[in-house]
Amino acid sequence: MTESSIQVAVRIRPLNAREVSLLAPVDTSQPFQGDGGLAGSPSKAQNAIAAMRTNYIRNILSPVDDRVLVFDPAEPAAQIRGQKQQPTTHMHIHGNGRRARDVRYAFDRVFPPTTTQQEVYRGTVEPMLTGLLSGFNASVFAYGATGCGKTHTISGSSEDPGLIFLTMRGLYERIEEDRDQYETHVRLSYLEIYNETIRDLLSPTPTPPGPGLALREDAASKISVVGITEHIPESPEQVLEMITEGNKRRTQSPTEANAVSSRSHAVLQLNVTRKPRTAGTVEEMSSASLNIIDLAGSERASATNNQGMRMKEGANINRSLLALGSCINALCQTGGARNVKGRHIPYRNSKLTRLLKFSLGGNCKTVMIVCVSPSSAHYEETHNTLKYANQAKNIQTKVTRNLLHIDRHVAQYVQAIASLRQEVQELKEKLASTGGADTPAERRKRDALLADATHQLQDAATAQRDALRQAATDAAPLHAAEAVRSALRDAVDTSAAPDRAILESLLAQTPDVVAPPEDTYRLAAIPLPPALAADTTYTALYAARHAHFEANLAAEARAAALQAARQLLQDTIGRRLIDLALGTAHATQALRSAAARLDNDLTDDDRVALAADLRAAGERGTAALQQAMGAHVPDNVPVVRKVAHPSPARRVRPSLGPRSTGDAARFMRLASPRRRTLRPSIAARHRNIGGTPLVVPDTAKDAKPSAAPTAPTVPPKPRASLAPGVQKSLAPRPSVAPAPRRSVVPTDVPARAVEPKKAPADLRRTLPDRPRKPVTAPADSVRKPAVFDKAAEPSLPENRAAERRAAERRPEKRSAEVVPGAARAPPAAPPAVSRTRPESDTRSMRHALPSDTSDDPVQPVSTSPVASTEPVHSPTLSKRPTSPARPPSTSPSAASRGGTGVKRRGLFERQFLARPETNDGDSTMDSLLHTDLADLSAQLPREDWQASLLDTPRRTSSSFFTTPSPRGHRSRESREMPA
């Protein structure tokens, strides 16, 4: 227990605007002295000023420092002059005529008019909060005359809150600071004492009229209000809202002194209980109450001029305040709380003093905030208030701490343990939710594990990506092979038996496409370490990274698929390659057949030369084909490369093998059904070599014999049996009218123009073997058709000599038929037919001319430049004189076609040897030419011989098999256009 005095603080409110306007001006005039000087009797002006000053007010409070103030201080001017103080205006007003008191009062605190609410709070209530939370009761009440600022100090406004709000805010701040150590509860009630009745200001239902709420004093001498509502605020703002609502219910009425005068005493009571969180054998709980009281203002009835209810209110207010003053006097006279036991303190004279019983003289720290007005208009009220306050500061109170020491029962320990366990569990959950359960070391370890798993995942993704790229690269030829296989299958379905055998052989050697498995692009998951798998956060992180890598793989797969699609699109040309392969097969077969035939008849030099020429021609034909197709056909195209060569095919020298379909197309003409029909001699030769198997020569260096079945010699193949691509390439060309052909006009040719050459042995063997009727030529001069007869082979020296001898034996007959100048004319006339030639003759010529390709069943796929059958004027021809008996030549010249002299040579031979009928002149010419055939053949260049051998169609000879030879051109020109 400690003794304490009531803390008295005086707050001087500022002058309001009205009061400021009534402040008297400072009188600086000189007093009249009466002796002719200034101190004489006052003038009229001075009297007028003095009269005006009766309406002025002046400041009657002058704070000296924060503890002392001067009531009714002397005016500064009088003090300066050292004269007696003049009566103040209010002395005149109040008529007391007394001199200024100039009384000094000392208090615990003096707050000048400029003091803020915060400063008042810090100087009054704040020091008591610590004691309140420790169990010391406390009271703060505002005392003073009406309109002096009590309500403003206690409640304030929302813009400038007063002590209630500031106190609650400070209290909650301290509670929050000690929350971990103490458990604190605050209960709040707010009431008013109006006309000696107590009303609850926070109850939603207003207190019924009548006696109001009753006061009760318990055994502990604690005063409580029966039926008052208590509230537990959560924040100081909520308290402010409560107080604002309560003040609205408080009785307020405008008076002359205060427009918002409170007509009741308002009491805010806070009950604060606190106990430490640490459990002990004895529970120590503190309990204290804080009363914040806003008293109603005392008022002088004469000053307020209140009437009726206001007067009654004022009387009750004054009565309660008088009771309060009486208690204060009694407390002061008895020495305060120390002697209260033997003295009577009239607390029961009013509800107010009963309520403040322990705040004034009991176990309580009390602060009295005395609100005073500095205006001289409240001179008496202020003076009385200061006298009360000065007396109240002498009141002594005994302050004891309110502690409850409660021995705990065993059951309470069980309850405390359960409470502590629950608290521990809550703390653990809180730590787990914030991730604070892991130590930094554990987190680093988990992060390292996750990084390791991620690296493994990345390595797997990288390896799979590389495999994906390789698979895409490997798939490109597979797609190409599949395209080829598809084309082959189509060709097999639509081809005749021989072709089908070839195509099936190719198909068997074309690899299958192996589709990748569906999960090729799926990224396998790397198993997570258990330490990570148990943590949802890490598993989510790993799953996200796995998805990231798999998405990258999917992107790679899409790119690869796109590339494969492009490749497949490009590989559609594989179908055309099938056509090419088919043509090559036919050509190879035909070439081998022809080569087999020739092999028996050629000398070694001829074979070598023939092979070289064929190879060169094949290469040119291949190039032409590729150019025409618009695509490059590599040597390793599976269709060609995969064809096997059975050993019997090796009978043909590899050097003789054609290398392109250009050869094929040419040789297929030999195998065409029409050719067989028209040329039984050729067919017979084919039959003779029928045992030669059909093979497709391999152009690859590493070609190996295969067990693939070989096709027999290709029989005449119907057009409809060809593959679609082939059919397309073999589509009938626009029909072309037969070119007008010139009749052979024997002309004189200078002997030097014809250079003797060695003719091939089988030149005449290739001539048309159709039966013909010799007209003028002797029977022995007619070529032996059909079967090859070595005895009739003009290439043999013995035969050539015999032929010359036979010619010499009939000189007279030849001379009779020969036109002068035509004996040495070369049979180089272009294969033109005279317009006057009979139709039958023309047909026979066409039969003898395989160059008419319009009805050829097998055409090479070449789209090489085709020599027009229309007459083309040749500049070379135009320079040369033509025979007047014959029209100028309109056939394509050798120069314009770049080497068709070979064709003409073959035509010439056939025309000369196979013409069935002619007129007399022609017959004579034919006889002469026939006689000189051997010599002329000897003069042919080798390529001409070759062309004749192959019986090259005119339209393709220039592009495929004829080697342009300037020398040959010159010789042909000299033959075609004799002077």
Residues found near ligand ATP in the complex (CB under 6 A): 13-14, 144, 146-152, 258, 260-262, 296-297, 371
- We find the least distance from the C-beta atom of residue 387 to ligand ATP, in angstroms, to be 18
Please report how close the Cβ of residue 117 comes to ligand ATP at its closest, in angstroms. 8
**Residues near 879 by beta carbon (within 8 Å), at least 6 away in sequence:** none
Please list the alpha-helical segments (H only) found in 250-378. Answer: 301-304, 309-333, 351-355, 357-360
Q: Say how far apart CA 149 and CA 111 lie, in whole Å.
A: 12
- The least CB distance from residue 21 to ligand ATP, in Å, is 15
Cβ nearer to ligand ATP, comparing 373 with 958: 373
- Alpha-carbon distance of 713 to 543, in angstroms, equals 67
Closest CA to 751 of 974, 446, 419: 974
Calpha distance 197→191 (Å, rounded): 10
Smallest gap from Cβ 55 to ligand ATP, in A, equals: 22
Nearer to ligand ATP, 265 or 675 (CB): 265
CB of 149 vs ligand ATP, minimal distance in Å: 2
DSSP states of 388-421: HHHHHTT-EEEE---EEEEEPPHHHHHHHHHHHH
- CB closer to ligand ATP out of 16 and 600: 16
Q: Which is nearer to ligand ATP, 143 or 961 (CB)?
A: 143
CB of 148 to ligand ATP, least distance (A): 4
Distance of CA 481 to the CA centre of its chain: 38
Look-up: residue for tokens 């010529």? 845
**Minimum separation from the CB atom of position 358 to ligand ATP (A):** 24
Cβ 323 to ligand ATP, closest distance in Å? 17
Q: Confirm if 255 and 244 have CB atoms less than 8 A apart.
A: no
Q: How much of the chain is helix, strand and coil, in % rounded to 5?
A: 50, 10, 40
Helix (H) or strand (E) holding 654: none
| Of 378 and 675, CB closest to ligand ATP | 378
Please check whether residue 723 is in contact with residue 517, taking contact to mean a CB–CB distance below 8 angstroms. no
Q: Is 153 annotated as a binding residue?
A: no
Distance CA 743, CA 914 (A): 14
Question: CB-wise, 293 or 296, nearer to ligand ATP?
Answer: 296
End-to-end CA distance of the chain: give it in Å, rounded. 162
> How far is the C-alpha of 465 from the C-alpha of 557, rounded, in Å?
9
Nearest distance from C-beta of residue 15 to ligand ATP, angstroms: 9
Q: Does 37 belong to an annotated binding site?
A: no
Instruction: For residue 690, say whether it is annotated as part of any ligand binding site.
Output: no
Q: How far is the CB of 271 from ligand ATP (least distance, A)?
A: 26
Q: What is the Cα 607 distance to its own chain's centre?
A: 71
Nearer to ligand ATP, 141 or 172 (CB): 141
Alpha-carbon distances of 164 from 26, 27, 141, 157, 586, rounded to whole Å: 40, 44, 11, 11, 118
Of 672, 637, 644, give the one whose Cα is nearest residue 502. 644
CB of 352 to ligand ATP, least distance (A): 14
Residues 6 or more apart from 218 whose CB is under 8 A from it?
Answer: 224
* Residues composing the chain: 979
890 is an annotated ligand-binding site residue: no
The burial of 480, by beta-carbon neighbours within 10 Å (0-12 exposed, 13-18 middle, 19 or more buried), is given as: buried
* Residue number with CB closer to ligand ATP (144 or 246): 144
Q: Is 150 annotated as a binding residue?
A: yes
| Shorter beta-carbon distance to ligand ATP: residue 314 or 785 | 314
User: Crossing angle of helices 574-599/942-950, nearest 10°?
Assistant: 110
Q: Is 595 annotated as a binding residue?
A: no
Closest approach, Cβ 294 to ligand ATP, in A, equals 7
Q: How far is the CB of 89 from ligand ATP (least distance, A)?
A: 22
Closest distance of CB 216 from ligand ATP, Å: 28
The contacts of residue 728 (CB under 8 Å, 6+ apart) are: none
**With respect to ligand ATP, which residue has the nearer C-beta, 297 or 361?**
297
The whole-angstrom distance between residue 226's C-alpha and the CA centroid of its chain comes to: 73
Closer residue to ligand ATP, CB minimum distance, 14 or 778:
14
3 state SS of 254: coil
Residue with Cβ nearer ligand ATP (373 or 931): 373
Selection from 689, 489, 693, 503 nearest residue 600 by Cα:
689
Closest to 763 (Cα-Cα) out of 575, 910, 552, 551: 910
Q: Is residue 365 within 8 Å of 4, Cβ to Cβ? A: yes
Nearest-approach distance from CB 252 to ligand ATP, in angstroms: 7
649 and 676 Cβ atoms separated by less than 8 Å: no
Read off the tokens for 878. Answer: 């135009």
Residues paired with 398 in a beta bridge: 3
Q: Which residue type occupies 498?
A: P
612-616 long-range contacts (CB < 8 A, ≥24 apart) are 612/655, 613/942, 613/943, 613/946, 613/963, 614/656, 614/657, 614/658, 614/663, 615/655, 615/658, 615/659, 616/963
CA angle 192, 194, 199 (to 5 degrees): 45
Residue 810 structure tokens? 């009939």
Candidates 903, 908, 902, 876; CA nearest to 889 is 876
**621 assigned ligand-binding residue:** no
Task: Classify burial at 574, counting beta carbons within 10 Å of its beta carbon; exposed 0-12, middle 13-18, buried 19 or more.
Answer: buried
What single letter denotes the amino acid at residue 292?
Answer: I
Q: Does the annotation list 144 as a binding residue?
A: yes
Q: Annotated binding site for ATP, which residues? A: 144-151
Binding residues: 144-151
